[in-house]
Amino acid sequence: MIKQYNLAEIPVEQILNRDIREEKGVEAIVDDIIANVRKDGDAALLAYGEKFDRAKLTALEVSEAELIEAFDAMDTEFIKTLEIARDNISRFHSRQIQKNFVITEEGGIVLGQKYTPIEKAGLYVPGGTASYPSSVLMNAVPAKLAGVSELVMTTPPNAEGKIAPAILAAAKVAGVSRIFKVGGAQAIAALAYGTETVPKVDKIVGPGNVFVATAKRKVYGLVDIDMIAGPSEILVLADGGCDPKFVAADMLSQAEHDKLATAVLITTSKELAEAVSAELERQIPLLPRKEIARASIDVNGKIIVAESMEQAVAAVNQIAPEHLEVCVAEPFALLDSIKNAGSIFLGRNVPEALGDYLAGPNHTLPTSGTARFSSPLSVDDFVKKSSFIYYPKEALGKVADRIVDFAEREGLHAHAESVAVRFRK
């Protein structure tokens, strides 16, 4: 049974499950995996595939024949759905593409900034209890729009050594360059360091379990990463006019992800709170993943009654949830006052699943309160910015004395000399 509170009686920082401490021994296990992959390369990947996925592989890379077979096995309606989702994601993310700029100033001075795509990006797609072709699209499409020349995907195989056909179909639709049958921390190590078969990349993106997250943290600095994702979160902000069936269903859409996931309702209506609690009890037993949803709701789920919508919005901004549904009569009236949220779903008929699959905005979102300072995955994650400067000698001469003085005040005399030497007779 979900727990109920008044907002005044629960500290805001305790509303969502933000306990992302590693399980005992995870760090040591990941260190060992990374070391073995660095030392033994493909041999280590094949051994880990047999150990963790029970797959006896003879080749790590998905062949073109396997890709075509998976694509042809998909029903045409699902391929069409993938293409619609890809086009929507592309349409939204294409607005994020930045342009180079140049500033010309008096005396021939030229200043500017240019954008260069990351050359190689690695996309991790999790397996396990579910497959996620949507994650393929959400990560691959922005990378392709940014101009990434090589997009390398890794994902764990099943015991027969095969990848879920839906994942391969999504990869083909999205234009992924190469696909490898590797999962877990060993996949992250392979992408970071390279092996005989798996190319070394410049950035790794994509969600995963605690071993994947720990490995990403370990290799950060050698390569870039998108983020360290914690348990999935949804916060529904609702007034008394909502349908409790809709609210409960939306909360369960995240609760079914993981036992550590958190689904929370903050409402100004005690009547809605009671109705949603009853709906959760009715709907949970109907879910195929009911054991996961049950654990998530019982341990981490909360229904909270606020005295006013202003108080509720203030709590939202402190919590900074990953997914925020604004289920009120006039959602746009609250939009400007919402400062911290990964993705905002406005209105009573905008379930979080719309954003997960089809609408266009990215579903790779900041968790664990990091929406206070970070953003959803975007085209910006796959480009680098470089500034450039040009000064003719005469223009440098006009500011030379000031640069020399500045450098000497910092005790950096070689800096000062690098300017002064150009004007010494």
Catalytically active residues are 322-323
Was 415 annotated as part of a binding site?
Answer: yes
Was 257 annotated as part of a binding site?
Answer: yes
Three-state DSSP state, 340: coil
Task: Give dist(CA 141, CA 147) in Å, integer.
Answer: 10
DSSP letter (8 states) at residue 127: -
Was 98 annotated as part of a binding site?
Answer: no
Was 363 annotated as part of a binding site?
Answer: no
Was 254 annotated as part of a binding site?
Answer: yes
Chain centroid to CA 70: how far? 26
Was 93 annotated as part of a binding site?
Answer: no
Binding-site annotation: residue ranges: 124, 186, 209, 232, 254, 257, 323, 356, 410, 415
Binding-site annotation: residue ranges for NAD(+): 124, 186, 209
Binding-site annotation: residue ranges for Zn(2+): 254, 257, 356, 415
